[in-house]
Structure 1
Amino acid sequence: MKRIKTALYVIIAIVFLSACNRNEKSKNPNIILIFIDDMGWADLSCFGNDDAQTPNIDKLASEGISFEQFYVNSPICSPSRVAISTGTYPQRWNITSYLAHRANNRKRGMANWLDPSAPMLARSLQNAGYATGHFGKWHMGGQRDVTNAPAITEYGFDESLTNFEGMGAKLLPLTIDENGNVGRIWGGAEKLGEPFYWMQRSEITTGFIDSAVVFMDEAIAKDEPFYVNIWPDDVHSPFWPSFEEYKVAKKEGKRGLYLAVLEEMDEQFGELFDYLQNNEKLRDNTLVVFCSDNGPEKGAGRAGNLKGYKTHLYEGGIRSSLIVWGPGFIEESKMGTRNKESVFSAIDLKPSLLDFAGVEESKGIVTDGENLIETILGESKASRQSPIFYSRPPDRNNFYGFKDLPDLAMRHGKWKLLCEYDGSQPELYNIVEDPGETQNLADENKDVVEEMSNQVVAWYESMPVLEKGEREDLNN
C-alpha cells in the first residue's frame, strides 16, 4: 500500500509539473487562427491529396500535430464562423446558413448579422491586453444589401481588413482570364466600408498576410501579445488562379481550377510561415491553429472516403483537417504526429485557447465548448465529453444530388446519428469503424437511436427560434 501511495504521489507530481511548465511557457503567447474557406478534409497533400501539393502547409504539419476527428459546427460558412468565434452553437444567434440579402435572411428566419454582444474569443483576449486583428473573409454581417451591420472592430478586434462580406476596410478581388481581360467580382461592395483596394484574386491572400505581418510587427514593438485571424477565401468558388495558371487549369474544368488555387494559396502561406519560423521569439511563443470552415464544393475539393459535401451533415460536410503548430509548446516527440482518436470541435477552441493564454472568462458567459488544450498540445488524447449537435442549413434540404437530407445530426463517442426534426428517419453509424457512413445500423440499435434522437431533438428545440420578422426588427 505504501508503494502504491508513493507511486500515486509521483504521478500527481508529474502531472502538476507538466501543467505548471505549460502555463509558464504559455505566458502571453501569440495565437494565429487560420480558417480556410470550403477546403475538403482530404485536400492537403499531408491529408492524402495526390493531385496537388501543399508543401508549406505540410511543413507546418511536420512540425506540429494533425487531428483526424476534428469537427466544425456547421456545414456552411456563416454559422461555422460564428461557432469558432464565440465557442457557442450558431443556432443561439439565429445564424443557420450563409448570410445573404435581407429578404433572403428574413425568409429563412435568420439574423442579418451576429449580435455584437456575442461572447467573442477576440474580445476576451482584447480585454486581457492582446492586440487583436482580423484579416480575410468575415461573413458574419455586412453583405449584399445589409449595409448597416456593425463594423468588425465592434466584435473585439483592434484592426480589420476584410473582403466583400464584412464592414470596414477591405481588399476586393479582380480577375484576369486567359485572354488578359480584367474583371471584378462582387461589384458594389465598396458601399460596405472604406478604404477599399482592388487586387488580383490570385494574390489577395498575400495582401491579407502582408497586412497581418505589419499588425504583428506593431504588436511586437509595443511588447503586446497578439491574436490574429487569417481567413482567406481562395478555394471558395469562383476559382481564379494567376494568369499563367488559369490558361492551363481551365482546360481541366472546375477540379483543375480548384487545384491551381489550392497550390497558390499554399505558396502564399509560405511567406507567413517563414516569418514565424525565422523569428526565434515568434517561433517559440506562437501557436498556429489551421482548419477549414466546412467541407468542399462538389466537383472541386474532396473529403477522401467521407460522405457528402459542403451543406451536408454527413462527415464530408462537417469534418475538417486540423493542424496545430507551436514548437515552443508542443513536445519534440509529438511533432509530426497524427491524432486519430480525439473527437472535438470548433466550439472547443475558444475555452481551450483562453486557458492557453491564461485568460479567465467572465462569469455568466454562455458557452458550449469544452477546454481541450491538453489534447490540442499533444499532452492528452482526451475527447470532448458532451455530444456535438447539428442542424442543417434551412435552405439545403435537397442539394448536390442528395434528396431530403437529414435535418439534425449528433456525434457522441463512436456513434453518429442523423434524423429529421422530429427524430424520424434515423441513420446510425459507427463512425469510428465506418467514417464513410455506408452501413446504417439504426435497426440493430434501437435503444441507441431512441436515446440519441431524444437528445438531439431536445437540443434543437432548446435553441432560440424567432419568428421571421422578429430578428429583422432586432438588428435592422
Structure 2
Amino acid sequence: MLKLNISSIILIAALLINHSAAVAQAKSDTKAQQPNIIIILTDDMGFSDIGAFGGKFVPTPNLDRLAEGGLKLSQYYSAAPICSPSRVSLLTGMYPARWNFSTYLDNRKHNREAEQADFLDTSAPTIAKFFKAAGYATGHFGKWHMGGGRDVKNAPGFEEYGFDAHSSTYESPDPDKALTSTDWIWSEKDSVKRWDRTKYFVDKTLEFMAKSQGKPCFINLWPDDVHTPWVPRTEKEYTGKFPMNPQEEAAFKGVLKEYDVQIGRLLDGLKKMGADKNTIIIFTSDNGPLPSFRGTRALGLRGTKLSLYEGGTRIPFIISWAGHTPVNKIDEKSEVNSTDLLPSLAKMAGITLPSSFKGDGMDRSAIFYGKPGPREKEMFWEYGRNNIAFKYPKEPDKSPNLAVRDGDWKLLMNNDGTDVQLYNISKDKKESVNVANANPKLTNELKDKLMVWWNSLPKLGSK
C-alpha cells in the first residue's frame, strides 16, 4: 500500500485546489467571452426614419455610425403591426396569437373585445429565461406593454419572465415612479421628463452592465420614443401642446434628433467601459410608423402601423458585433422575422435551447454573419379579429386581417376568405398590383396555407 507523509498530502491537496480553481476560472473566462447582447427596440419607427435607411427628416449620425459598423437588413419583419403582439413575438420566438395577443393591451374591457389576454402567460418561453439559465445577467429597460397598467392589477412581475433588473413605463406590472408620477403614460410632473426618457433608459442599461462585470449581459433596451406624444427637448421645438399634435412633423424631428443623440451616448458608454468589442447590438422597431407623413416614413411602402401591408411590418434592422458581423453592408435578399431573433441570438451566444422549445422562428445567425440565404419557412401575420376593437387604420391603409409571405410572394385575405390580394414583393414591394386573378393556382395554395395556420391558433378561452 502506498504510504504518504504529511508533506505529500499537503502537496496533493494544494494541487487539487489549484486544479479546481483553474476549472472555475476557465468557466468564468468562458462566460466572460460570451457576447453581451442589447436589443434596442424603438417604438413606432418607420422603415426610413433614419439616414442609414434613406431618411431625410434630420441627420442621424449616431445611428448611421451603428449601421456603418454593422449589417443592415432591408427585409426584416415584425410578426405584428402593433406594439403588444410584436413584443411578444420577439420575447418568445413565437407568433403572438399563440399566446392570445392580437393588438395593443388596454383595459380589461378592451382586451375582451379584442379577444385577447390581459397579460403574457408566465408559462411562455422567453429569451430572457433561456439566457438567464445560461448564466447571463438579464435586464429590461423601457416599455413593456405585455401586461399591467390601467385596470389590470394582477399582471406578473418582470422576474417571472426571466429578468434580474428592470425599469419600465406605465404599461407594465411595475412602473418606474420617476416616469409615472400621475399613474399615466406621461405627465409634465414626472421627475424624468418626456424628452429625457430615452436618456434615462440608456443610463440604466450602462449602469446594469457596469454592475454585472464578470457575467455577460442580455438587455432589452426598449425606449418609448419615437411614439407619440412627441415632446422635444428645447422650448423652441416644444410648442407647449399636451399631448403634442401627432401630425406635427417638426415635433417628430425634434424627438428623432434627441433619440439619435442618446444612441450615441450608448455607443460611447460601451466603448468607455471596454464592452464595445464584445457586445451584439441590434437596432430595430416594434412596428411601422403612425402617422407616416404621406408614406415618407416608410420609404413609400404601402400602409402604416395597424396594417399588414409592408409599411406596417417591414422595419429597419441593424446588427453589429465587432469582428463578427459584416461592416457597412446591406442584405437586400434575406427575409428575417422577429420570431427569428431568439434562436439566432442563442446560437451566436453558444446557448443550446431545450428540446421542449417549439418556436416559430428560424436560426438565421448565418445571415447575421454575412451569408445571405433564402427563407425556407413561411411568415404569417394576423391583425383584426373582429369589427369592434380593430377599426383602424382607415382606407387605404387598412388591410385584410391575415397575411402570409412565401418566398417572393405575399398573400393577404380576411379569415372568411374575402378580399384576396396577391403581390410579388420582389418586383412590387409597394403592393400596387394585385395579381391574384392571374395566378389562381398559387393563390389557392397560399390561401390554404394561411387558413391552416389561422385555424391552428388558439382563440381566447381555448388555451
What TM-score, normalized by structure 2, do the two folds share? Answer: 0.87
Residues 361 and 273 (structure 1 numbering): CA distance in 2 closer, same or farther, change over 3 Å?
A: same
Q: 1:318 and 2:313 equivalent?
A: yes
> Distance in 2 between the 1:211 and 1:398 partners?
35
How far is the alpha carbon of 1:412 from its aligned partner? Answer: 1.1
Where 1:60 maps in the other structure, the secondary structure is helix
Alignment-derived partner of residue 221 in structure 2: 230
Alignment-derived partner of residue 202 in structure 1: 195
Alignment-derived partner of residue 139 in structure 1: 145
| Identical aligned residues as a percent | 38
Q: 1:376 and 2:382 equivalent?
A: no
Superposed CA deviations along residues 287-316 of structure 1, whole A, max 9, x for unmatched, are 001100000002457101210000000000
Alignment-derived partner of residue 161 in structure 1: 167
Q: Is the 8 A contact 2:91 2:126 kept in 1?
A: yes
Return the match for 1:266 from 246, 260, 281: 260
Residues 404 and 265 (structure 1 numbering): CA distance in 2 closer, same or farther, change over 3 Å?
A: closer
Q: Is the 8 A contact 2:132 2:138 kept in 1?
A: yes
Structure 1 residue runs without a partner (length 5+): 1-23, 175-183, 191-195, 472-476
Residues 438 and 41 (structure 1 numbering): CA distance in 2 closer, same or farther, change over 3 Å?
A: same
> Distance in 1 between the 2:237 and 2:395 partners?
28
Where 1:449 maps in the other structure, the secondary structure is helix
Larger radius of gyration, structure 1 or 2? 2
Q: 1:41 and 2:47 equivalent?
A: yes
Where 2:298 maps in the other structure, the secondary structure is coil
> Distance in 2 between the 1:302 and 1:151 partners?
35
Alignment-derived partner of residue 255 in structure 1: 249
> Distance in 1 between the 2:184 and 2:48 partners?
33
Q: Is the 8 A contact 1:352 1:372 kept in 2?
A: yes
> Distance in 2 between the 1:318 and 1:169 partners?
28
Q: Which moved more, 1:449-458 or 1:382-391?
A: 382-391
Q: Is the 8 A contact 2:37 2:217 kept in 1?
A: yes
How far is the alpha carbon of 1:172 from its aligned partner? Answer: 5.0
What TM-score, normalized by structure 1, do the two folds share? Answer: 0.85
Alignment-derived partner of residue 5 in structure 2: none
* AA at the equivalent of 1:208: F
> Distance in 2 between the 1:391 and 1:214 partners?
38
How far is the alpha carbon of 1:433 from its aligned partner? Answer: 1.0
> Distance in 2 between the 1:392 and 1:252 partners?
23
Alignment-derived partner of residue 379 in structure 2: 388
Superposed CA deviations along residues 273-294 of structure 1, whole A, max 9, x for unmatched, are 11123444x1221100110000
* AA at the equivalent of 1:391: E
Q: Which moved more, 1:45-54 or 1:128-137?
A: 45-54
Superposed CA deviations along residues 35-57 of structure 1, whole A, max 9, x for unmatched, are 00000001011111112111111
Q: Is the 8 A contact 2:60 2:260 kept in 1?
A: yes
What is the aligned residue count?
423
Return the match for 1:344 from 332, 336, 346: 336
* 1:13-24 equivalence runs, <5 A: none
Q: Is the 8 A contact 1:201 1:234 kept in 2?
A: no
Residues 452 and 172 (structure 1 numbering): CA distance in 2 closer, same or farther, change over 3 Å?
A: farther
* AA at the equivalent of 1:118: A
Alignment-derived partner of residue 455 in structure 1: 449
Where 1:198 maps in the other structure, the secondary structure is coil
Where 1:320 maps in the other structure, the secondary structure is coil
Q: Is the 8 A contact 1:65 1:325 kept in 2?
A: yes
Return the match for 1:215 from 201, 208, 213: 208
Q: 1:302 and 2:304 equivalent?
A: no
Alignment-derived partner of residue 123 in structure 2: 117
Q: Is the 8 A contact 2:32 2:215 kept in 1?
A: no
